[in-house]
Amino acid sequence: MITGKTKSGFHFTIDENVAKSKRFMKLLARISRASKMSDDGKAGMEASEAEDELEILVLGEDQQEKLIEHCDKKAANGMATVNDFATELNEILSIAGEKNKAIKNS
């Protein structure tokens, strides 16, 4: 397991094997494809669904909800934006990637 903490103070634990899984790669590909499509409702829904699946795969439903609550508490109006959440998730993925890389090199 990989544990870490974002700059904003969110503590997380993720399985180091997730980033190596076929499901993880497929979800990244779906998100990438959807973001390159024309900005219609279908493409937006496809990206949103894939992002949610990715969050659950990486964090699990419990940590996903805790991260949403964490982001909401940081937001001035008490409701975090999708970008606020994405920033935190990207930081988690970056931290996990660096730690996973360090484990492989040791």
Per-residue pLDDT of 50-104, as tens digits, reads: 888 999 999 999 999 999 999 999 999 999 988 888 899 999 988 888 876 665 5
pLDDT grade for 38, boundaries at 50, 70 and 90:
low
pLDDT grade for 40, boundaries at 50, 70 and 90:
low
Task: Report whether 10 contacts 67 (CB < 8 A).
Answer: yes
- pLDDT at 74 (0 to 100): 92
pTM of the model: 0.79
Task: Give the mean pLDDT of 18-45.
Answer: 77
List, in sequence order, every residue forming a beta bridge with 14; answer none if it has no partner. 2
